[in-house]
Amino acid sequence: MPLSRRELLKLGLLAAPGAALGRYAEAQVGDPGSPPVIPFTRQLRIPPNITPSGGGGPNVTLTMSESTQAIVPGRPDTPIWGYNGQYPGPTIRARRNQSIVVRQINNLPESTSVHLHGGHTGPTSDGHPNDLITPGNQKDYTYPNSQLPATLWYHDHAVDVTGPHLYMGLAGMYIIGETFEDNLNLPGGPLDDVNLDVPLFLSDRLFNRDGSFAYPLTDEALIRGALGDRIMVNGVIQPNFRVPSRKVRFRVVNASNARIYDLRLTNGAPFIQLGSDGALLPAPLSRTSLRLAPAERADVVIDFTGMTIGTMVVMRNVSRSVPLSMDRAPREIMRFEVDRTQADTSVIPPALRPITPLGAAAQTRVANLTRGVVNGRPVWFINGKLYNPGQSEFTMVAQGSTELWQFNNNSPQDHPMHIHLVQFQVQNPGVGENGWKDTVLVPSGATVSVKAQFTGTAGTYVFHCHNVEHEDHAMMNQFELMA
Ligand code: C2O
Ligand code: CU
Ligand code: CU
């Protein structure tokens, strides 16, 4: 098939990475640059909370800037790109149906685009990959928050370079709350100790010897995605977190470029899952293993009740999605250390938020996911096409209609597929228990179908693989929502 000009441009980028990429990419996979780390010797950091101001906007102002952070033991100076110069960025705590304006100032040397992942936003506030904030400029994003309360996250979405930008640190959490949920008296809620509603932001990195992040540009990284050999939680490598002997709520976000986690606790205790990507579940779900592909979230409670002070529980990754023979990342992700007792009057109610299954679909769309080679380098196709902002694969998505989207993975890699604007219901048997989702893992060889109702402001929205190296090269396409 003939390649568009746009596709040729992209391949030019693939063949000769620009200065922007080269700057962070001196070390390739296999460079023994990552630091030795003694696990659990550093404490978990909690990103600062931002409560949006009331009244006229902007209600939150963030500045994307270069800074340094103490990530590597003995070094204070790992360069990062962060929202307010921090990785992860501040946790924005919004309220349902209270629209806010977030002003984003770009003080970075490259263009960026800020996407609220999981947000039901209009097309001009969605962080479309080509809706760029050039260096020195700013943009106001409007977030209506007219959706079910959930754990969302915001991250960079600049065309072609989302991978390196996310890797440099452009990501933060965004939590929507509401009175209904407050009154459930969940652990970490406003009727409880709010410090026990804890963000856990998982990501993996390779490092250069000078302590900087090493973004891999090998063919292997285009195939598997950028996989690190050190795992961080909230920007701290293998941290320790001190908890009271009671129930604690965690918002787990897989903010890794490509890594899939299967989380387990060494004491065999379950994660009590309250919510998934887009909302609370109908009822709490007890899982001893928690799988999170890139961009997926889980809202969980871990119950440390009855554990004696000094008890240690390690959270491990038991995923085999990267063959063990080639995975240089540790299995231990973080440790919980019970260091105190604390009263616990919070509850885990038997029912949370009911979910009504969506009705019959008016339209079926098929997305075939395949791998290709162009100019000798691996690329990823949706229906045989690379991303082109001038083309939309799915047009005439009718306002308010329910559609069935079928992802057929005819490739040797797994693809976490994500649709902007909507929350969907997974149709495959056994996966429906995951509630409202915006990202679903489509394993190699599998077909996964999701149903969504498309409402919102008419316009162009993207859908893509959230292995961000796949996304950049160029497993992304668009749909047109009609008025
Ligand atoms: Cu989190 Cu379009 O992505
Ligand atoms: Cu998104
Ligand atoms: Cu993919």
In whole angstroms, give the CA distance from residue 169 to residue 164: 9
Q: For 396-427, give the DSSP string.
A: EE-TTEEEEEEEEE-SSS-EEEEESS--EEE-
Considering only 91-100, 210-219, 254-263, 341-350, which range has the smallest mean pLDDT?
210-219
How far, in Å, CA of 90 to CA of 65, rounded? 13
pLDDT over 90 (residue 22): no
Ligand whose nearest atom lies closest to the CA of 413: 3
Q: Measuring CA to CA, which residue among 173, 169, 113 is closest to residue 139?
A: 113
Residue 376 CB contacts under 8 Å (≥ 6 apart), including other chains: none
DSSP 3-state assignment of 11? helix
* HEC per residue, 225-237: CCCCCEEEECCEE
Please, what is the average pLDDT of the chain?
92
**Cβ–ligand 1 contact at 418 (below 6 Å):** yes
How many angstroms separate the CA atoms of 267 and 269, rounded?
5
CA distances from 221 to 9, 29, 92, 371 (A): 20, 8, 32, 14
Q: 475 in ligand 1 pocket by Cβ < 6 Å?
A: no
Residues in the chain: 483
Give yes or no for a contact between 429 and 400, defined as CB atoms under 8 angstroms apart. Answer: no
Task: Give the pLDDT confidence of 411-432 residue by residue, as tens digits.
Answer: 999 999 999 999 999 999 776 5
117 C-beta closer than 6 A to ligand 1 = yes
CA distances from 172 to 119, 203, 326, 348, 454 (A): 14, 12, 29, 27, 26
DSSP assigned state of 269: P
* Number of the ligand 1 atom closest to the C-alpha atom of 462: 2
Q: Is the dihedral of CA 149, 155, 159, 162 positive or negative?
A: negative
Matching residue, tokens 């769309």: 365
Taking the centre of ligand 3 as the mean of its atom positions, its distance from the CA of residue 281, in whole angstroms, is 27
* DSSP annotation of 327: -
Please report where in the chains the tokens 């390779």 appear, as a residue: 206
Which numbered atom of ligand 1 lies nearest the CA of 471?
2
Amino acid (1-letter code) at residue 301: V
Range with the poorest average pLDDT among 39-53, 127-141, 202-216, 392-406: 202-216
Cα separation values, 81 from 68, 77, 311, 401, Å: 8, 12, 36, 40
Ligand 3 center to 255 CA (angstroms): 15
What pLDDT shows up at residue 175? 98
Model pLDDT for residues 307-347, shown as the tens digit of each residue: 999 999 999 999 999 988 889 899 999 999 999 999 999 99
Measured in Å, residue 339 CA sits from the centre of ligand 1 at 38
Nearest ligand 1 atom, CA 464: 2
Average pLDDT over residues 23-31: 40
Residues 6+ apart with CB under 8 A from 174: 91, 92, 94, 116, 119, 152, 153, 154
Would you say residue 11 has pLDDT above 70? no
Q: Which atom of ligand 1 is nearest to the CA of 117?
A: 1
* Local confidence band at 74 (pLDDT 50, 70, 90 cut-offs): confident
- Ligand 1 within 6 A of 170 CB? no
Beta bridge partners of 177: 95
Report how far ligand 3's centroid is from the alpha carbon of 96 (Å).
32
Is 70 exceeded by the pLDDT of residue 48? yes
| Average pLDDT score over residue span 95-99 | 97
Atom of ligand 1 nearest to the CA of 420: 2
CB contact at 8 A, 125 and 142: yes
pLDDT of residue 68: 97
Cβ of 157 closer than 6 Å to ligand 1, yes or no, is yes
CA angle in degrees (0–180, nearest 5) for 307-308-312: 75
pLDDT in tens, 453-476: 999 999 999 999 999 999 999 999
Give the whole-angstrom CA distance, residue 130 versus residue 191: 43
Is residue 16 pLDDT above 70, yes or no?
no
What's the 327 CA to ligand 3 centre distance in angstroms? 18
pLDDT at 129 over 90: yes
Backbone φ, ψ for residue 215 (5° rounding): -85, 120
Query: Which protein residue has the closest C-alpha to ligand 1 atom 3?
Result: 117
295 touches ligand 1 (CB under 6 Å)? yes
pLDDT-derived band at 2 (thresholds 50, 70, 90) equals: very low
Answer yes or no: is the C-beta of 297 below 6 A from any ligand 1 atom.
no
Percent of the chain with pLDDT over 70: 93
